[in-house]
Each structure stands twice: as C-alpha cells, then as structure tokens.
Amino acid sequence: MAVTTYILDKDGNSIDASTATVPANRDFRGAWSLSGNVISEDLTKAKEIFKDKIRETRKPLLEALDVDFTRAQETSADTTQIVADKQALRDATTAGDSATDIAALKASWPSACGDNPYS
C-alpha cells in the first residue's frame, strides 16, 4: 500500500507532496510558502532567517573580542582594531538588506562572520 504525503498551506488547503515543485535546497526551509503546487522562498522571511544565522555565528566572535578588549585595556594596548572588528560584527546583520533574490542573499554573507555557510 502506497502512502501519500500531503502538504498543507496556510489556509488549510492540501496538495500531494509528490506533485509539488520545491526549491533546490533547504537553506531557508522556514521561509517556504505554498502557492498551488509550487513551493517558493519568501525573501522577507529568508532575510530574517539569514539575520538569525549571522547573530548565531557572531555571538562567540563578539565574546572573544570582549576578552581581547579587556586584556588590551589591562595592558594599555591599542584597542582600535578590536573596536573596529566588533563594529563590523554589529553591522553584519545589515548584509542581506539589499538582496533582491535568494542567490544574492546567500552571496551577501559578511566576511566579518567567517566562512559563508551558504556557499
């Protein structure tokens, strides 16, 4: 006996999952929306997921820079680069704001956050 999987849209309508057109990858799965038999990625929702990923990635980086900053202050060392690095991480969440599609969003990963998880 074959089992059929159904997908429900936000209005409670269902389609057979095997007939749906889906995005090539699941990077922004939480931003998927269903229209007829086509699942597409909502760019606005994808940008929020992207920003959350940046926040998750930068948290330990900011914490490490806080330690470096404190150590530099204790020895009266120059903190200019540390302050600049921290600011770059704070500004990182604006990286995808101007993206007009998912590919541009993925490509806009800020270098301050390290390797691009979407490449």
- Domain identity same for 10 and 63: no
- Report CA torsion sign: 109, 55, 117, 46: negative
Same domain? For 48 and 102 the reply is: yes
pLDDT at 47 over 90: yes
pTM for the full predicted model: 0.85
- Is the same domain home to 50 and 34? no
Tell me the residue range of the domain where 87 lies: 43-113
* SS3 of the chain: helix, strand, coil, percent, to 5: 50, 15, 35
Tens digit of each residue's pLDDT (9 = 90 or more) over 102-114: 999 999 999 999 9
Predicted local confidence at residue 37, as pLDDT: 87
> Do 51 and 109 fall into the same domain?
yes
The predicted model gives 17-42 an average pLDDT of 89
The one-letter amino acid code at 28 reads F
In the chain, the number of structural domains is: 2
What residues contact residue 17 under an 8 Å CB cut-off, 6+ apart?
Answer: 4, 5, 6, 7
